[in-house]
């Protein structure tokens, strides 16, 4: 489905990003595995891709750093000649109640989750526009749709990403660049593993399908959006949440 395509997946060292990188590689894409802090996990992602016969290239960059993003995109163009698919997946949480949340914790989440996507989209779309072809997938969250207590910063960043998705879809559609967002609910990742058993049990009760989702289920939707099977879809937010937002 993605033969000869070049895909950049930010924050691909683990969790949903890792699953997406592997899924796209399985379907023929050369995957640029972006990471910032954990090189060993990024290398593990690359090794998984290569063990399946795919091609992976590691790129270290802090997506909240504008110049680092610009350099990373330029290196990819120099090495691969193009970027066909961009998955803005890099993200962090710094949870806490509003009245106790520090300015630093608010700023860090916005800088990585929202500004990071802005940086990568700005520089990657420059080359996509020249080719008059491209595909951008933003990893949002149901927290950006319904909000979540204790996640003012995270919810704001993901709501902003949804707005960015719609605005950039309108701006870039004339150059045949599609932009969509995926909004996962509770997905089995290292992030949700840290939750207490009580919180997990209470969370599952809210989900009509009665379970957390799997990272591969998110990756399957990313593959659909990255392929020509979704060629007439742009500016959309697809929820993968087991029905929690109905």
Question: Which of 183, 171, 175, 88 has the alpha carbon at shortest distance from 137?
Answer: 88
Name the catalytic one among 35, 127, 154, 232: 154
d(CA 144, CA 139): 11
Mapped onto helix, strand or coil, the DSSP state of residue 94 is coil
Query: Quick check: 141 and 93 in contact, CB under 8 A?
Result: no
| CA contacts within 13 A on the Cβ side of 106 | 9
Note if 232 is an active site residue: no
d(CA 236, CA 180): 5
* Structure-block tokens of residue 183: 């909004």
**Which residues have a Cβ under 8 Å from the Cβ of 100 and sit 6 or more positions away?**
none
What φ, ψ does residue 55 adopt, rounded to 5°?
-120, 130
Question: Which of 103, 84, 106, 79 has the alpha carbon at shortest distance from 95?
Answer: 106
Distance spanning both ends of the chain, measured CA to CA: 31
Locus of tokens 């990373």: 72
> Given the DSSP bridges, would you call strands 237-240 and 213-214 parallel, antiparallel or unpaired?
unpaired
Query: Quick check: 77 and 127 in contact, CB under 8 A?
Result: yes
Active site positions, annotated: 154
């Amino acid at each position: 489905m993605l033969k000869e395509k070049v895909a950049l997946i930010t924050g691909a060292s683990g969790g949903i990003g890792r699953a997406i990188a592997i899924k796209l590689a399985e379907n023929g894409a050369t995957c640029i595995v972006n990471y910032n802090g954990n090189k060993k996990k990024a290398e593990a992602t690359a090794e998984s891709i290569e063990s399946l016969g795919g091609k992976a290239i590691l790129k270290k960059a802090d997506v909240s750093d504008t110049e680092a993003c610009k350099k990373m995109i330029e290196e990819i163009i120099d090495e691969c000649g193009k970027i066909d698919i961009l998955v803005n997946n890099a993200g962090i949480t710094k949870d806490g109640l509003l009245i106790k949340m520090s300015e630093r914790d608010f700023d860090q989440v916005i800088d990585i989750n929202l500004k990071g996507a802005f940086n990568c989209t700005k520089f990657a779309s420059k080359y996509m526009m020249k080719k008059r072809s491209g595909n951008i997938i933003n990893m949002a969250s149901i927290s950006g749709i319904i909000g979540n207590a204790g996640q003012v910063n995270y919810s704001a960043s993901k709501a902003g990403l949804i707005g960015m998705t719609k605005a950039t879809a309108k701006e870039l559609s004339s150059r045949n660049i599609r932009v969509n967002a995926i909004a996962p609910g509770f997905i089995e990742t290292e992030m949700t593993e840290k939750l207490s058993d009580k919180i997990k049990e209470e969370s599952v009760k809210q989900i009509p399908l009665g379970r957390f989702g799997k990272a591969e289920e998110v990756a399957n939707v990313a593959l659909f959006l990255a392929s020509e099977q979704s060629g007439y879809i742009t500016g959309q937010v697809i929820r993968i949440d087991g029905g929690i937002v109905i």
